[in-house]
Structure 1
Amino acid sequence: MKVALHGLSLKAEFFPQVQSLFKLLESFGIDVFITEPFDRQLRQLGNQSLKYWVLESPEDYSGLDFFLSIGGDGTLLDTVCVVGSREIPILGLNTGRLGFLATVATDKIEEAIGQLVNGNYQIESRTLLSLNSNRKLFHGLNFALNEFTIHKRDTSSMITVHTFIDGKYLNSYWADGLIVSTPTGSTGYSLSCGGPLITPGAKNFVITPVSPHNLNVRPIIVSDEAEISFEIEGRTDKFMISLDSRSTAISSDLKLSVKKEKFSAKLVKLPHYHFFDTLRQKLNWGFDMRN
């Protein structure tokens, strides 16, 4: 078995757990590969004895069975970008905080690796959003697992986002911005702006305004087979767009649309895990908060 590891900002306090992870993988006879950013982190933390190969070229990804994301949900989103259309299954080991996507706690790592080795898992296909424009953006990594957003660039007045579904006019949103979320992203930025929660397997997108001027405007759920396009207006000619945690400035003459990506993110689902369990644990559903 070949397993790759990726991390972005590993804290020194978690280095012992990473060392234990390497020893565990070695005990199972697993070949370990790591990304270049994670290699730099391990060197900074004083790595001298860990055995691995560094992924330096696209050919090095051939034959990988799993990608382990070491960090929080942000690291897992970055791992999705690293994997891209290769669709290598990803398992999130949570050294972060909330962990909607990176679900394996540090004290459960040994159990999780055992489940992988024994084939005791399922693979969930998560829908990705694809951004189309008349200019190359995000260095060609024009997809997102959570959401695409349009936002005003600074503290200027609100913007107007004219929105179309399959070419048919939907609405003009006078707001600070607009979010198009996947079911996976429905627990993130969209939720904080009043959007609904959607189960991961739903075939939908959510369009959620950010601080809308008209209070009767509400989020709307649309089919993920739809193409959603936008025309942006504002007092300034510069706006911000983002794909998950990656953002860039654009001008109003840029043509933008989003639709479902042709490939998907493959997330490893271990036994005894369910999306509803995560909602109860992370959002404190069912707890009496009056005490």
Structure 2
Amino acid sequence: MKNIGINVNTTKDPNKKMVDIVIETIRKKNTDINIRVYEDCMGLNEIESSKLDVIIVLGGDGTILNTLRHMHKHSVPILGINMGHLGFLAQVDNTNIDVAIENLFDGKYSIEERTMVECSYHEGGETRNYCGLNDVVIYKALSSRIQKYEVFINDKFYNTFDADGIMVCTSTGSTAYNLAAGGPIIHPELDTLALTPMYSQSPASRTIVLDGKSKIAVKVRRDNEIVFLSADGQEWIETDSANVINIFRSKYKCKLIKFAENDYFTTLRKKITYRAKECEGEVYEGNKTC
């Protein structure tokens, strides 16, 4: 390990105190490491990411998704240090930086590969591609009425939905926007894509969980209207409703650094179940189910 990147969300660390702590901790382990610091992904691109052995992300899950958007083609392992609200992907707490970095240098970690999702469509004589870890969302314009979406799976007609939008998520993304839209939680080790009609008029519209190799095509039935497309909610792209949006498993993988104490079900319980109970006004002690 010779080159380490640090990408910091400056809204979470405006005075760079956490950046300084991380750099100091790394230097204590190895003074010869080349450290590159990026602020809000500025300067982080394909060329830069190709030089990195690992990148440490200071922020929340959104910061990890933004980082991944800039460097997913090189599959650089990501160590997320949570300074945000939820921290489902960034599981290292900012109070445990010393231990996390020590384990990183001592090789006491594993790399968990997560499936990514990709979409493509043709516009203006070129093919446009967008990639995400969590999901791809097709959504009506704010001023538009409910749209009709025709959905095809592996070139076979599946159904037409009267809905605000269509979401296709990975197993990782099942606990993100998909969960808020009424979709199921799917274990991240499963190679799946889940398609969820968003806020459909039909009570029979439910999520369908598909094999990860499935190819999905979505066509908006009303022409001459604007629809928006987003991968991981990082950027909303305006596109013509006449375009067919193809959604499929990406050839790229997200690599997350995991330590022995990072258990998925513990994270799920703390980040989802406990928070749901708190929202309902119930005090949920962490040791009740341990």
TM-score, length of structure 2 as denominator length: 0.87
- Whether contact under 8 Å (2:111, 2:255) holds in the other structure is yes
Q: Paired residue for 2:245? A: 256
SS of the equivalent of 2:200 reads: coil
Q: Paired residue for 1:34? A: 37
Residues in 1 aligned to 2:156 and 2:45: alpha-carbon distance in whole angstroms: 45
C-alpha distance after superposition, 1:181-238 (max 9, x if no partner): 0001000111001100011110111111111100111111011101000110348610
Residue of structure 1 aligned with 2:100, choices 112, 124, 127: 112
Q: Indicate whether 1:73 and 2:61 are aligned.
A: yes
Letter in 1 for 2:199: S
Letter in 1 for 2:26: L
- Whether contact under 8 Å (1:34, 1:55) holds in the other structure is no
Q: Paired residue for 1:217? A: 205
Q: Identity over the aligned pairs, expressed in percent? A: 29
Letter in 2 for 1:33: R
Q: Paired residue for 2:91? A: 103
| Aligned counterparts, 1:110-259, within 5 A | 110-135=98-123, 142-234=130-222, 237-245=225-233, 246-259=235-248
C-alpha distance after superposition, 1:87-109 (max 9, x if no partner): 11011111111011111111011
SS of the equivalent of 1:261 reads: strand
Structure 2: state its 5+ residue gaps: 284-290
Pair 158,38 (structure 1): closer, same or farther in 2 beyond 3 Å: closer
- Whether contact under 8 Å (2:223, 2:242) holds in the other structure is no
Q: Paired residue for 1:282? A: 271
Residues in 2 aligned to 1:233 and 1:210: alpha-carbon distance in whole angstroms: 16
Letter in 2 for 1:21: V
Q: Quote the offset at 1:84 in angstroms.
A: 1.7
Letter in 2 for 1:34: V
Q: Quote the offset at 1:275 in angstroms.
A: 1.2
SS of the equivalent of 2:113 reads: strand
Give the superposed CA RMSD: 2.4
Number of aligned residue pairs:
275
Q: Paired residue for 2:81? A: 93
Q: Paired residue for 2:25? A: 24
SS of the equivalent of 2:90 reads: coil
Residues in 2 aligned to 1:141 and 1:231: alpha-carbon distance in whole angstroms: 17
Residues in 1 aligned to 2:229 and 2:49: alpha-carbon distance in whole angstroms: 30
Q: Paired residue for 2:259? A: 270
Greater shift, 231-240 or 198-207, is seen at 231-240
- Whether contact under 8 Å (1:147, 1:179) holds in the other structure is yes
Residues in 2 aligned to 1:96 and 1:62: alpha-carbon distance in whole angstroms: 27
Letter in 2 for 1:26: R
Pair 14,223 (structure 1): closer, same or farther in 2 beyond 3 Å: farther
Greater shift, 182-191 or 63-72, is seen at 63-72
Greater shift, 228-237 or 188-197, is seen at 228-237
Residues in 1 aligned to 2:10 and 2:157: alpha-carbon distance in whole angstroms: 43
Structure 1: state its 5+ residue gaps: 40-53
Pair 14,287 (structure 1): closer, same or farther in 2 beyond 3 Å: farther
C-alpha distance after superposition, 1:216-273 (max 9, x if no partner): 1111101110100011034861011111122111112212101111121111111111
